[in-house]
Each structure stands twice: as structure tokens, then as C-alpha cells.
Amino acid sequence: MNTKHSATPKKFGVHTSTFKASANHSFGGKPRFAGKKFNNTRSRFGGGRPSGKKRFGGERIDFSRFIKKGTLVEEKPYLSKHAFADFPFNPQLHKNIERAGFINPRPIQDQAIPTILTGRDVFGMANTGTGKTAAFLLPLIEKIYKTKGQAKKETVLIMAPTRELALQIESDFKNLAFGFGMFSVACVGGLPIMKQIREIKMGVSFVIGTPGRLRDLIDKKVLDLSTCHSVVLDEADRMLDMGFRDEMVYIIGKTPKDHQTLFFSATLSPEIKKLTEHYLKDPAFISVISGETLKNIDQDVIRAKTKEEKLEKLHEVLKKDGSDKVLIFREMKHSVDSLAKELHTLGFKVGGIHGDKRSRERIRILESFKKDHINILIATDVAARGLDIPDVTHVINYDVPQTYDTYIHRIGRTGRSGKKGTALTFVPA
């Protein structure tokens, strides 16, 4: 049943940093370190040669690219052009912003909010944790508020690649839309579809969901997007990576032609560029991708010959002082479960998430990790995409990632907010 949303504040925080615009990086072809000698370079773990190559199902990666000493970079404050008070929001929205603990806009918020308020299409390049959720929610809440009282209600559609990200966006919406009488529905797989159908029929202003479940609801003739004049694709690059292109195109095709489109992506791949050219009209291009974070991360490899040696070396890392909050990536779902079981047997507080876990179970484990009830989270890339988890001290690639882009995305979960981080990758001895 639809109920009024609580005002429990969710802080987005103000992260001050110097941000640099950048295009998508290409890591294919000849390795960056090709031709350089590493005879005198040894890994901290297991010695041996640092170089090596991997090409089984993924791209060719030189293992030496996983070794780099981090340098703590002092972050320079971002000087925003606006204060939140400058934005022409309803007084209630300003109250909600203050309650949420916002002080100065983050770069993506500072640049995107004024543009979105004009009704213009936007392509934003931004990573997880840069405040982009509030960057599109705040102006869209204001937009829907202004349409209140009209004969036909306008709705907002927000698409996200994973149920966790969709539920996180809805949680942020509930805090920021408090007091407006606006309702939302999270259309995600793994949660009861009948409850979602009931909420849609009762009337919602914001439809937030994953492509698969949204398409199911459209096909069942439950979800009507004919009044949807605002479309947000969050983490559009990951939706394409996950094979949702057809669903994305189908769903967008069910909205009016004159809708405002907001694309957010961490990369500008040829496929993303093609989509933006097709769906965005005269868009504003905003980039707050920062390469500075990776400078804060110590990167190294751990060599292991056998499965037993690999687990033993992982055990050594996890026992060390400073391994306070560890995110471990695995390639396969069953591998997540088996490693979680092994670490639990060794006495660690650990949880695992992947696509086959029930939504409620995934939510429970993530909350336990965020609140430090467990200090080790094992996940596949799909399950962990889009999650903003603060204070991760270590990212461990227990399996070599398929691509260097994936590696960069994974290790970016640590070394944030001016803190030092550690990224370790297990490679064959």
C-alpha cells in the first residue's frame, strides 16, 4: 500500500575535489608498459616476476598494470558556482535539502541542476559516489511539483542496471520528496510483482526500475508511460554491458517523443555515443570524471600456484591490521558462495551477493556491510555495480578481471574522499 514517505535523512555529503573532464579511456591494444623492463621489480606478495598475461574470455592484460604505488593526493576544494539556496526550488524542497545535510553542491549537482531545470537534455559522465542521484532527483521533483493540479499527471521514469541501485535511488527519492505527497514505485525483479502492480494502479509520480521488470509490466499492460515526459538512464553503460539494449530501446519507445532525456554514464563507448545521438536532442555534455582517486591507491599483485595457497594468502591479507572493510570481487556466482563459506569457516564476518540471491537477502547483506556488522563483502561485478559504499580499505580481485576497464571500476571503490586505499589482484604464479 502506498504510504507517505518518511523524512529519514540520507546524507549525500559534500565531497570536495578537483574534477577533470575526460573522454572514455581505451585500454585495448598494446599494453601501456610494453617494452619496459621489470627485472628489478618484485611484488610484495610471493615475489616472482610482475609481468604476465591473461586472455581467457577477456582482453589481453599485462599483469604489471596491476602494480603501482599510491601517493596520497591532497584534494583541492571544488569551488561551486551555486549554493543550494540559489536554485529556484519550492520551500519544502529546500527544507528537505537542508535536512539531508547538503551544504554546497557537488560538481555534478552544481553543473547539472540548472541545466535540467531549463528542460534541456543532459549527458552526464559521472562515477558512483559523485552525487549524481541528487543531481537529477532534485530538479525532477521540482518539475513534477509544478505540474501538480494539471488534468493529466506527469510521471518520471528512471532506469538503472541493478535492483540495488534502483532501490537506492528510490530511498533517496523518499527523503528528498518528503512532504510533497508524491509516490514512487521500485519495479525490480526478485521482489513481489503484485505489490508493484498495486502501487502503479494507485498512482505514482516516479517509476524507478530495472529494464527487465519494467518491460514485464509494460507487456502486462500495467505500466503506461504515455504521460512520462522525463526519462533518466542511470549507469547507461552498465545496462548495455548487461545486455539490456533491446529493453532500453523498447521502454524509451513507449514514452512521448517530446520527453526530456537524462543519460548518466561512467564511459563514452561507441554504443553509448550512438544511443545519445539517437535519443538526446541538443544535449548539454557534463563530465565530472576524476582520475585523481586512483593516485590514492596502492596497487599490487599476489601470486599463487594452487587454490590452497591462494586461500592461505588471502587469509594473511585479511588478518593484517588496516584490513578494516574489504570488498572482494569474483567472476562467478557459485565462486562467491564457496569463498564466503570458506572465509566464514576461518572465523571471518563475511557476506556474499550475486544475481541469484533473493533481493531481500542482498539488501540485508549490503546493509550489514555498510553498518560494519560484517567487514568483508564478496560480490560479482553485476551485483556490486552502482553501489556507493564508504570507507572501503581494500579491494581484492580474487579472480583476474575480464577487462582493464573493469579493473579500474572495481578498484575505484577504495581510496575515496582523500583516504588511502589498497587494491590487490590474485594472478597465477
Mean pLDDT of 368-394: 85
> Position 367: which residue type?
E
Say if residue 170's pLDDT is above 90. yes
Q: Please tell me the distance from the alpha carbon of residue 394 to that of residue 412, in angstroms, as a whole number.
A: 10
| Contacts with 162 (C-beta within 8 Å, 6 or more apart), sequence order | 210, 238, 382, 383, 385, 386
Strand 297-304 to 421-428 pairing: parallel
Q: Are 390 and 421 in contact (CB under 8 A)?
A: no
User: What is the pLDDT of the chain when averaged over all its residues?
Assistant: 83
* Alpha carbon of residue 414 to chain centroid: 13
- What does the pLDDT read at residue 8? 39
Burial of residue 372 (CB within 10 Å: 0-12, 13-18, 19+) is exposed
Q: Are 407 and 379 in contact (CB under 8 A)?
A: no
**DSSP one-letter code for 299:** E
- What does the pLDDT read at residue 35? 35
- What does the pLDDT read at residue 56? 45
CATH topology for 84-287? Answer: Rossmann fold (3.40.50)
CA distances from 423 to 6, 91, 142, 266, 408 (A): 38, 44, 41, 20, 10
> Position 306: which residue type?
T
Lookup result for grid cell 575505484: 412
| pLDDT tens per residue across span 250-301 | 999 999 999 999 999 877 778 888 888 889 999 999 998 665 557 789 999 9
Q: Are 187 and 213 in contact (CB under 8 A)?
A: yes
Secondary structure percentages of the chain, helix, strand, coil, to 5: 35, 15, 45
Least Cα distance to 426 among 325, 324, 298, 300 occurs for 300
Say if residue 180's pLDDT is above 90. yes
**pTM of the complete model beyond 0.85:** no
Q: How confident is the model at residue 54 (pLDDT cuts 50, 70, 90)?
A: low
Task: Name the percent of the chain lying above pLDDT 70.
Answer: 80
Mean pLDDT of 91-115: 94
Task: Name the percent of the chain lying above pLDDT 90.
Answer: 55
- What does the pLDDT read at residue 32? 33
Sign of CA dihedral 369, 6, 169, 128: negative
Radius of gyration of the chain (CA): 22
Mean pLDDT of 414-425: 85
The domains spanning 53-75+292-428 and 84-287 adopt the same CATH topology? yes
- What does the pLDDT read at residue 411? 87
Q: Please tell me the distance from the alpha carbon of residue 355 to that of residue 378, in angstroms, as a whole number.
A: 12
Domain ranges, ordered by start, for the chain: 53-75+292-428, 84-287
| pLDDT tens per residue across span 332-361 | 999 999 999 999 999 999 999 998 888 788
- What does the pLDDT read at residue 58? 59
- What does the pLDDT read at residue 385? 65
Mean pLDDT of 170-189: 95
Say if residue 242's pLDDT is above 90. no
Strand 206-209 to 326-329 pairing: unpaired
Lookup result for grid cell 563483502: 377
Torsion of CA 353, 359, 361, 363, to 10 degrees: 80
Q: Are 423 and 395 in contact (CB under 8 A)?
A: yes
26 versus 428: which is more confidently predicted?
428
Task: For 49, list phi and psi in degrees, rounded to 5.
Answer: -80, 140
What superfamily would CATH give domain 53-75+292-428? P-loop containing nucleotide triphosphate hydrolases (3.40.50.300)
Beta-carbon-side half-sphere exposure of residue 310 (alpha carbons within 13 Å): 18
- What does the pLDDT read at residue 57? 52
Q: Please tell me the distance from the alpha carbon of residue 256 to that of residue 260, in angstroms, as a whole number.
A: 10
* Alpha carbon of residue 45 to chain centroid: 30
| pLDDT tens per residue across span 14-48 | 333 333 333 333 333 333 333 333 333 344 444 44
| Contacts with 89 (C-beta within 8 Å, 6 or more apart), sequence order | 97, 138, 142
- What does the pLDDT read at residue 72? 57
Q: How confident is the model at residue 75 (pLDDT cuts 50, 70, 90)?
A: low
CA distances from 103 to 18, 56, 136, 327 (A): 17, 48, 17, 30
| pLDDT tens per residue across span 188-214 | 998 899 999 999 999 999 999 999 999
Which of 123-127, 144-148, 156-160, 319-323 tops mean pLDDT?
Answer: 156-160
Cell of 386: 552502482
248 versus 288: which is more confidently predicted?
248
> 3-state DSSP call for residue 394?
strand
Task: For 373, list phi and psi in degrees, rounded to 5.
Answer: -75, -30
Strand 53-54 to 61-62 pairing: antiparallel
Q: Please tell me the distance from the alpha carbon of residue 336 to that of residue 352, in angstroms, as a whole number.
A: 6
228 versus 387: which is more confidently predicted?
228
User: Alpha helices of 18-158 — where are they, by DSSP H?
Assistant: 91-99, 107-117, 132-146
Least Cα distance to 217 among 203, 234, 202, 196 occurs for 196
